[in-house]
Amino acid sequence: MQKRILIVEDDIHISQIIKMNLNIVNYETTEVYDGLAALEAMKQEKFDLILLDVMIPRMDGFTLMEKIQPYGIPVIFLTAKNSVYDKVNGLKLGADDYMVKPFEAIELLARIETVLRRYGKEEHVMEFQNIQVDLDKREVTIQGEPVELTPKEYDLIVVLLKNKNIALSREQFIDKVWGGDYYGETRTVDMHIKTLRKKLQLQDHIKTIYKIGYRLED
Amino acid sequence: MKFWQKIYLFSILAFVLIFNAASIMVIERSHNTMLGQEINSALSQNMSIHSSVNAIVPILRIYDSIDYEKTILTNIAKEFVEKNSDDRIYLDIMNDTNRTIFSNTDFEMPTHRGELDKLAVEEIKYILRDIDQRTILFTSNITDINHKKYVFTYMKDVTSLYQERVDQYHFFVKVDMAACLLYMLIMFFVSRGLTKPIDRLNRTAQVIAQGGFSERVRLKSKDEIGVLARNFNDMATVVEDTINDLERNNQEKQRFINNFTHELKTPLTSIIGYANFLRTTKYNEELFVDGLNIIYSEGKRVESLSLKLMDLILLQENHFQMEEHDLGAIIAEIEPALKMKAKEKRIVIVTDCEEGRLLLEKDLIKVLIFNLVDNALKASAEQQSITICTYWRDSRYTLEVIDQGIGIAKEHRDKIFEPFYMADKARTKINNGAGLGLSICQSVASIHHAVIEVTSKENQGTTIGVIFDQIGPKGGLNP
């Protein structure tokens, strides 16, 4: 089932780019441009997460936050303000995380995923073409047939699936799969991609993107 | 040592010294005077004895008998002693062989009496002697009777005088102690009272030093300390005002920076977001064109923001070459450009200008008019008109930009001059605005000593008037 995310952001362009990034990794989105419209939208639809700008017209983010609380919907604040006071205030009011503009799309996706997981709303099984990944068992199957993967290869295919249709750089792969304190060569990524392509028959889907890295495409 | 303690201690020291010295001098002087009187009276008594003896010397010469002389002298002495029996008076008569002829002393006469050694006839000498805890005044003279020298010694007990002096000292010590105690008590309150205002000043200064700038000294006295307190309060007021000014300035700057970062980060978020999206996702023509359009327009927004900001920074510098220009002519000069801009929205610009020669910075005035007309255009709908007019009234030159647009709501009216303030954020952004236009106008106006007046009715239009306060005859100006 697709997750529904409410984007409350008064800058149409920013709202647009968030929507585009979320849609591409299969989140469903609704955009509203002020606080009162956000309240309206919440009454009509059920959302799994709210992305909320602090400085929005008609009702500011902090006030809106108090109105959201009874719904029990996780909230990530989006704002250009990065003062400690605002962070503390936002988190005290029950925000689950905080993003300071400008931010990168994959960071936003990672945080959305973390918050959703905390609320037990993450997926248990991911599917791509004829491949199934069971996140609880850490098991990968092709048409029901299990495939042997090393732990790193498994982590790599999960990162690719979660950021489907988005190109990630070799550094970003290393950061997400091997961890920030890994000081190996980026060629390691190339080696693992090569074996993944072979083992999962993804030669046509894991694309090498010139000057950037790799992308899993439908 | 504290100041009040110094006053207290030194005044007490001075008082004790002067009071004691004066009292001792008075006591000693009165004692000496009394002693002098005693001595004088003793001398005169001696003289009277001497003269009464002298009176009978011729008789004694006739009889020329030692025994008779003795008897007579003893009689005179007895008579004299009896006459003065109340006083403690003693008489001693001695002949030239140092034998006593008469004596009523109740004490031992000193064996050697130095005053007699060089005593001449018809001369009286006196001396004070301490005998058996008594002080005796000795007055001696020698009388020649029949070529025999008799020593007459008249003595008086003056112990009481000395006793009196001692009594006076005793009394003085008591008075002295009482006076000192009283003085100490009074001086304690006086010195504390005098230095109390200084303590208060001190405490206030400490409070101010710790940041309580609104603290003041409450002193009503008219002496030097009162004047000091008033000056101190004046100083504190100036300091407080300056600090408040600085704080307000600082807050304004902080607000400006906060708004600026927000205004800068928002388009940057869009630009970076779209660029990254296009860079990392599969090519899709529709999204590609949309994304590039947004990057372009957001880039334009950053550009216009930075240009506006540069204007604003330039305006802070205050080095402007003011020259005499006709404002009407300047408006005529930029009219075509304004009309071009208005044409896009199919808005008509009407000008109605009187000639007005003022001291102006031509480029800044152009910026001012452009911004005002820009605002009017943004507020106007298609087919409406904007009027630019200038006129003289009460020897003041006024420039007005009048539109028929959406107007400014009351709650926004006093904030529109704040940098980055936008009455309608979404509309301002669609028009590539940054919320700096009126701040810039305000700065330009204040450089020209002009004030901006806003009259507005919602959905009926806004009139922005710039009133130049350069007094002078029509067409002229004051230097």
Q: Do B276 and A104 touch (CB under 8 A)?
A: yes
Q: Do B287 and A20 touch (CB under 8 A)?
A: yes
Give the closest residue to B439 by CA, choosing from B265, B252, B262: B252
Cα separation, A60 vs A79, in Å, equals: 12
Question: Do A88 and A140 fall within a single domain?
Answer: no
Other Cβ atoms less than 10 A from the Cβ of B93: the count is 22
**What is the rounded average pLDDT of the residues B424-443?**
73
Q: Do A101 and B269 touch (CB under 8 A)?
A: yes
Q: Do A21 and B277 touch (CB under 8 A)?
A: yes
**What is the rounded average pLDDT of the residues B369-374?**
88
Phi, psi of B228 (to 5 degrees): -60, -45
Angstrom distances, CA of residue B181 to CA of B22, B27, B110:
18, 22, 48
CA of A182 to nearest chain B CA: how many angstroms apart?
A: 24
Cα separation, B441 vs B416, in Å, equals: 11
pLDDT at B477 over 60: no
Domain range B319-468, CATH architecture: 2-Layer Sandwich (3.30)
Q: Is A14 on the interface with B (CB under 8 A)?
A: yes
Cα separation, A47 vs B367, in Å, equals: 49
Domain of residue A206, CATH code: 1.10.10.10
In chain B, pLDDT over 70 holds for what percent of residues? 95
Helix (H, G, I), strand (E, B) or coil at B77: helix
Cα separation, B75 vs A184, in Å, equals: 150
Cα separation, B293 vs A16, in Å, equals: 13
Cα separation, A149 vs B65, in Å, equals: 172
Query: Residue B400: in which H helix or E strand, if any?
Result: strand B396-402
Domain of residue A74, CATH code: 3.40.50.2300
Helix (H, G, I), strand (E, B) or coil at B365: helix
What's the confidence (pLDDT) of residue B425?
64
Of B262, B266, B280, the CB nearest to A166: B280
What's the confidence (pLDDT) of residue A81?
62
Cα separation, A50 vs B134, in Å, equals: 120
pLDDT at A121 over 80: no
Q: And the tokens for B44?
A: 């005169």
Boundary-marking domain end, from A66, A100, A118:
A118
| Chain B partners within 8 Å of A12 (Cβ) | 426
Phi, psi of B321 (to 5 degrees): -85, 105
Helix (H, G, I), strand (E, B) or coil at B477: coil
Cα separation, B376 vs B353, in Å, equals: 18
Residue type, A1: M
Cβ contact B361:B322 at 8 Å: yes
CATH number (3.30.450, 3.90.1200, 1.10.3470, 3.30.565) of B3-166 reads: 3.30.450
Burial of A90 (0-12, 13-18, 19+ CB in 10 A): buried
Boundary-marking domain end, from A95, A118, A141:
A118
Question: Do A63 and A110 fall within a single domain?
Answer: yes
Q: Which residues, 6+ apart, have CB-to-CB distance to B50 below 8 Å?
A: B124, B141, B143, B152
Q: Tell which phi-psi region holds residue B346, choosing left (phi > 0), alpha (psi between -120 and 50) or beta.
A: left
Cβ contact B442:B417 at 8 Å: yes
pLDDT at B479 over 50: no
Q: Is A216 on the interface with B (CB under 8 A)?
A: no
Q: Is A212 on the interface with B (CB under 8 A)?
A: yes
Other Cβ atoms less than 10 A from the Cβ of A59: the count is 16
**To 10 degrees, the CA torsion angle through B240, B246, B247, B251?**
160
Q: Is A71 on the interface with B (CB under 8 A)?
A: no
How many domains does chain A contain in total? Answer: 2
Sorted by where each begins, the domain ranges of chain B are 3-166, 213-317, 319-468
Burial of B49 (0-12, 13-18, 19+ CB in 10 A): buried
Helix (H, G, I), strand (E, B) or coil at A16: helix
Question: Do A114 and A183 fall within a single domain?
Answer: no
What's the confidence (pLDDT) of residue B15?
93
Q: What is the pLDDT of residues B398-430, one digit of tens each?
A: 999 999 888 888 888 878 888 777 777 666 666
On the question of a cis peptide bond just before residue A102, with omega within 30 degrees of 0, the verdict is yes
Q: Do B281 and A167 touch (CB under 8 A)?
A: yes
**What is the rounded average pLDDT of the residues B255-275?**
82
pLDDT at B473 over 50: no
Question: Do A206 and A109 fall within a single domain?
Answer: no
Q: Which residues, 6+ apart, have CB-to-CB distance to A64 below 8 Å?
A: A8, A35, A38, A39, A52, A56
Question: Do A84 and A152 fall within a single domain?
Answer: no
CA of B269 to nearest chain A CA: how many angstroms apart?
A: 4
**What is the rounded average pLDDT of the residues B156-180?**
91
Query: Residue B50: in which H helix or E strand, if any?
Result: helix B3-63
Question: Do A112 and A138 fall within a single domain?
Answer: no
Using the 8-state DSSP alphabet, how is residue A58 labeled?
A: S
At residue B18 the predicted structure's pLDDT band, cuts being 50, 70 and 90, is very high
Question: Do A10 and A71 fall within a single domain?
Answer: yes
CATH 1.20.1070.10 fits B213-317, yes or no: no
CA of B429 to nearest chain A CA: how many angstroms apart?
A: 8
Question: Do A114 and A139 fall within a single domain?
Answer: no
Q: Do A167 and B294 touch (CB under 8 A)?
A: no
Q: Mean pLDDT of all residues in chain B?
A: 84
Q: Is A40 on the interface with B (CB under 8 A)?
A: no
| Chain B partners within 8 Å of A212 (Cβ) | 279-280
Q: And the tokens for B322?
A: 């003011």
**Chain A residues 129-188 with a CB less than 8 Å from chain B:** 165-168
pLDDT at B274 over 70: yes
pLDDT at A6 over 90: yes
Question: Do A86 and A136 fall within a single domain?
Answer: no
Cβ contact B194:B7 at 8 Å: yes
Boundary-marking domain end, from A53, A88, A118:
A118
Query: Residue B151: in which H helix or E strand, if any?
Result: strand B148-157
Q: Do A215 and B273 touch (CB under 8 A)?
A: no
Give the closest residue to B363 by CA, choosing from B338, B333, B342: B333
What's the confidence (pLDDT) of residue B427?
62
Phi, psi of A132 (to 5 degrees): -120, 135
Query: Residue B427: in which H helix or E strand, if any?
Result: helix B425-430
At residue A1 the predicted structure's pLDDT band, cuts being 50, 70 and 90, is low
| Chain A partners within 8 Å of B276 (Cβ) | 104-105
- Give the domain extent around A68: 4-118
Q: Where are the beta strands (DSSP E) in B277-342?
A: 323-326
**What is the rounded average pLDDT of the residues B385-396?**
88
**To 10 degrees, the CA torsion angle through A52, A53, A55, A57?**
-60
What's the confidence (pLDDT) of residue A217?
86
CA of A207 to nearest chain B CA: how many angstroms apart?
A: 10
Q: What is the pLDDT of residues B124-153, one digit of tens each?
A: 888 888 888 888 888 888 888 777 888 888
**To 10 degrees, the CA torsion angle through A5, A10, A16, A20?**
-20
Residue type, B447: I
Helix (H, G, I), strand (E, B) or coil at A1: coil
Say how many CB pairs under 8 Å bridge A and B: 72
At residue B472 the predicted structure's pLDDT band, cuts being 50, 70 and 90, is very low
What's the confidence (pLDDT) of residue B3?
85
At residue B72 the predicted structure's pLDDT band, cuts being 50, 70 and 90, is confident
Cβ contact A34:A56 at 8 Å: yes
Give the closest residue to B351 by CA, choosing from B363, B339, B341: B339
Cα separation, B389 vs A193, in Å, equals: 72
How does strand B124-131 pair with strand B134-145? antiparallel
Using the 8-state DSSP alphabet, how is residue B475 labeled?
A: T
Q: And the tokens for A199?
A: 């083992």
Query: Residue B413: in which H helix or E strand, if any?
Result: helix B410-413
Question: Do A27 and A133 fall within a single domain?
Answer: no
CA of B374 to nearest chain A CA: how many angstroms apart?
A: 22
pLDDT at B474 over 50: no
Cβ contact B125:B141 at 8 Å: yes
Give the closest residue to A51 by CA, choosing from A111, A122, A106, A126: A111
In total, chain A counts a number of residues equal to: 218
Torsion B18-B24-B25-B30 (CA) sign: positive
CA B106 from centre of chain: 77
Lowest model confidence (mean pLDDT) among A79-88, B13-22, B272-281, B302-311:
A79-88
